[in-house]
Every structure is written in structure tokens, then in C-alpha cells.
Structure 1
Amino acid sequence: MSDSINLSRRRLFSRRKDDALRPPYVRADIEFTDLCTRCGKCAEACETAIIIKGDGGFPEVSFADAECTFCGRCHEACDETIFDAALEPPWPLKAQISTSCLAASGIWCQSCKDACDERAIRFTPAIGKAPMPELELDACTGCGACVAPCPSHAISIIKPSN
């Protein structure tokens, strides 16, 4: 019984994995929540307003209404040593298309392809059915331009697993 108490206490005080989508150019070698002061300057500077106040008041990225243009204003506004403007790519995020895509139900829709400037989403024509999306991960910047226009909310931006 004392082992279970110790384990639960240990879990309580251990760092939980940070799954939040952070702004671009955030250094990978830091613990974001240790350095961020939650001042909100990055959110105020964001030209597309995708940086929002998230869990605990820390900045997170939401692609519900817009995309990241990688303008760099977020890191220019920050006084902390959180960002590295030289990062290439600016983050590891990539698009993911779920099975709720309208094309999977036989409905012709290519709104994500139309929104993708990088041409990371292609549709291959097929006889007798709606073309299915194909995602070219190497071309995807994770900008999120494809998320908001998707009528079935089938696209999300994720941190790929290694």
C-alpha cells in the first residue's frame, strides 16, 4: 500500500509531457514552461492571431481560424531566451488527415489542397469515386492553412512521433 502512495506522489510532482503546440522557432533544448513568463507579448505580436493563452496561461497555437505565416513577430516580441530565429524548419509540426475527411465518404472536397501554398496535399483522381487526399509530409510546413477551411474538421496539426 505504501508503494502505491509513493508512486502517486511521484507522478504528482514529476513533469508531465508538454503536448501543447507552441509558437514557431521555440528552442527544442529548453523546458518551455520554465522560461516563459506568460507575458503575452508573442500573442499580441502574432499577425494572424493564432497564438492564444492556453493551459496555465502559457502561449499555445490554435489553427481554428488562421495559419502561421512564420513572420517571426512572436520571437521578436519575446524578452526571454525561448526562441531561435535560425531554426529550420521553424517547428516539427505536420498536418494529419483523419478518416472523417469528406472524400472518405465519397464527397468531392479539396478545400485543404486549395489552401496549401506548399502543395503538400494532393488528390489523385479515381474512377467512380471522390479523389482521396495524399499528404506529402516532407513538403508540409505545419503552417495550419489547411485546418480552418476543412468543413469536416478532419485535419489537425500534430507533433509527429519519432
Structure 2
Amino acid sequence: MMPAGSSEQPVAVRLTVNGRAHLLEVSAGETLLGMLRDRLGLTGSKEACVEGECGACTVLVDGGPAASCILAAGSMNGRTVHTVEGLAGAGELTSLQQAFVNHAAVQCGYCTPGVLIVLTALLAEVPQPTEDEVRRALAGNICRCTGYQQIVEAALDAATAVSS
């Protein structure tokens, strides 16, 4: 039997995910990514490196991009999380998502959720980013298919669409 207060004891976590409040009991080793995918059925964020290096699992935590594969689910109490599933409202694509479609910025799509999240955060902070700012924002997202050019063009196009 585990002693009281042991890190193995489940922890109750209240958080908001994509605008919906949740109360979950999480275990000590559970990650935010595991909680999102396994408990909430939000499978857009992908598991790849499990080291916070590739960006496939990136979500917004309190408005900032974070690698959900290395964040403890228990540390999310009182936090607000947005996943790729929460970007579009009422079935309409965001200007960034539409720009990805327009520029064919998706190939296999595995990295796309994390890329969209990072660029969403960038555009919220810097509505008219330069190409260099977009590329710097993408530095933590590995894409093995596209070469990034179409992704960068889509981000710049989305910035233009928002300012029009």
C-alpha cells in the first residue's frame, strides 16, 4: 500500500480544454498528451519523439505553445488548453487553416496539428510576422515532408487575410 501523499496517488485536475470544463483524476506518470488523447478523445495532437523536441504534440496552454508529451497532466489544474480540434469554430476553418488548404501546406499531415498551434500563437502575438519570424516560430516543429516553404507562405497569407 502506498503511503498517503505519495506521488503515486491519483490527483484531481480541473482544466478547460477547447472551451469545455473537465474534472479528471490523473495518475503520477500521466502526460497532458496522454490525457488529451486517451481520456478526452482529442487525437489531433500526435505522439512522436516523447521528448518535447519534434513539435507534433504542441498545444496551447494558457495561450502559449507547449509540448504536451512532456507536461505532467497533474500540473494542468486550473489551466486552459487548446488543441488543434479547438481552433475552428462552428465548422469554419480559421484563416490559417484555410491558408494551409490554399497553399497545399500539408503532405502526410502528422506534424500539421503542432504547426498550426505554433503559428496560431505567433499570429496572436505578432499579427504581421516577417518570414524570418515565421521560420523562427517553426524551429521547434519537425516536418519531414514539405520543406516548410508552403507552410511559411500559408502563415504569411493568413496574416495578410486577417489584416484585410
TM-score, normalising length: structure 2 = 0.24
Instruction: State the structure with more CA Rg.
Output: 1
